[in-house]
Structure 1
């Protein structure tokens, strides 16, 4: 079985974490339940959820699995009322993205949870380690959603060296056993994956979005350079990141027209809000990583976990024999 020390920290069997897929679309709780049941760590997003909805989500997930899971928050935005609700439901793991952990670490530890911090630079990783987090996710620019500018292959080994002996998970551009094995060779103890789990049977996003992922090439997942004119800005302590999305008419129309996007910001926000209301946000901004080019099917989440772990084990076993013949 593919197992590393971070598995003991997180209480899981294989070092595979499902990235939280939150926003105006909802991933549902079937997805994290399936990932956790398969031995990985499922995640519950809280973005654009109320405190009551988060409590309901966690209660529903606990009816589906007794395995560990994570509840995620971001600094884009950060809702103190939701944070209080998260602490009250006492998740096994709390994860934070898109911002500095600040004084949240102590409160999370007091609630009995492991603190996982996502970073996009080495300096962010150092600050998180100094704040006392338990696990760091080094997310490369290949990732979907809000990500930084440094590639996973370059970022991960630098973060591993900067925060040792803290365990590091690699994220961004990973969707199969080859990427998982590569992450371990770079010094990470596991992976955090979003796009591959978007295209899973249990994920509650529209089938149209899943089909688009399967049909996309990596170059079809582009940075949305005008997003700061449309989406809420980071709150205090938030990192300045830019989302990555599959190309759509909306993205293509405004990505090369920064000044026009600024002038039309109000209208663009109205379009996005209307799409949120009618469930068609994915037709405007289907946040997706470059690993879409590696996704060829929509598969059960448990099968994805087992496939990732099994393929990585085989690759690492084969690599260990290189030069021994």
Structure 2
């Protein structure tokens, strides 16, 4: 079975991390449990969750699996009380996104957890390495949710070179085994996958959202350029990012307005009120269904364990096929 050094760091059998989906969208804990149970690393989001909800999430997760998992936080927003709760739950892995890790690294290490940091630029990766994180996830602009501007193909090898020997995961634009093989060729030791796991049996998002992913083309996953007008802003130390979502009338109308600052400002409060209402009634996905460009590669809804097995099997087959393209030399002197 495909295994790289980062598997030992994360305590997993295969080099796949499931990207967390939190906030008002909420994937639930069944997905993370199924991914971890299959030998990869399942992730549980904490954004917009209360400490009591997080404790309950972790209790249910541990009832479902005894395998390693990650608890995720971001700086959009960052709640110190939630961080205290996360540390108290002693997750095997703490993953952090959308902002500088700062002095959180020391506290995570004191709790005995591995620190996995998401970055969207080489400079962010260099600062994370200096801060002492254990693993870096280099996220390309193809990804769903909040992302940067540089493609995975361009970003990953630069980050690998900049932070060597720290292990790097590739994130964004990966939804099958060919993507995993490509990530390894770029120097990554594994991958962080989000959208492919959204369309899984265990993911607790709306069936309508899953169906939309299946029918979407890659170009249907667009940046939500007006997001800062309607969503909570990053807290201190947060990265500048813009979410990627499937097209909806709400996204299309908002993106059109964002090109005209006066119109955007006039509509901001109306849009914000509508989004807040959708968060309360569980329909945020109808407005902004966060999804990456790999939607074009997703053609079925399957159990998460099956997806992990499929991803690894495809990656191994691809790597074997690629190895066959290079003939063995008859002599060490041959070029």
CA-atom RMSD in angstroms: 0.7
Instruction: Tell me the residue number matched to 1:288.
Output: 291
> Partner of 1:99: helix, strand, or coil?
coil
> Partner of 2:165: helix, strand, or coil?
coil
Instruction: Tell me the residue number matched to 2:189.
Output: 189
Instruction: Tell me the residue number matched to 2:282.
Output: 279
1:23 CA displacement: 1.4
> Partner of 2:87: helix, strand, or coil?
helix
Instruction: Tell me the residue number matched to 1:60.
Output: 60
> Partner of 1:256: helix, strand, or coil?
helix
> Partner of 2:146: helix, strand, or coil?
strand
CA distance in 2 between counterparts of 1:290 and 1:145 reads 11
> Partner of 2:102: helix, strand, or coil?
coil
List, as ranges, runs of 4+ consecutive aligned residues in structure 1 with deviation greater than 2 Å: none
CA distance in 2 between counterparts of 1:233 and 1:25 reads 17
1:172 CA displacement: 0.3
Instruction: Tell me the residue number matched to 1:169.
Output: 169
CA distance in 1 between counterparts of 2:173 and 2:295 reads 8
Asked whether 1:211 is paired with 2:211, we answer: yes
Equivalent residue pairs, number: 325
CA distance in 1 between counterparts of 2:73 and 2:326 reads 45
Asked whether 1:77 is paired with 2:77, we answer: yes
Asked whether 1:49 is paired with 2:55, we answer: no
Instruction: Tell me the residue number matched to 2:331.
Output: none
CA distance in 1 between counterparts of 2:278 and 2:182 reads 38
CA distance in 2 between counterparts of 1:109 and 1:177 reads 32
Instruction: Tell me the residue number matched to 1:321.
Output: 324
1:221 CA displacement: 0.2
CA distance in 2 between counterparts of 1:298 and 1:129 reads 37
1:261 CA displacement: 2.2
Unaligned runs of 5+ in 2: 329-335
CA distance in 2 between counterparts of 1:45 and 1:66 reads 18
Unaligned runs of 5+ in 1: none
User: What is the TM-score when the length of structure 1 is the normalising length?
Assistant: 0.99
CA distance in 2 between counterparts of 1:136 and 1:38 reads 22
Instruction: Tell me the residue number matched to 2:232.
Output: 232
Instruction: Tell me the residue number matched to 1:309.
Output: 312
User: What is the TM-score when the length of structure 2 is the normalising length?
Assistant: 0.96
CA distance in 2 between counterparts of 1:191 and 1:133 reads 17
| Larger Rg, first or second structure (1 or 2) | 2
1:318 CA displacement: 1.2
Q: Which string of whole-angstrom CA distances, capped at 9 and with x for unpartnered residues, describes residues 173-206 of structure 1?
A: 1000010110001000000000000000000000
Asked whether 1:265 is paired with 2:268, we answer: yes
CA distance in 2 between counterparts of 1:323 and 1:51 reads 54
1:274 CA displacement: 1.0
CA distance in 1 between counterparts of 2:82 and 2:158 reads 33
1:262 CA displacement: 2.1
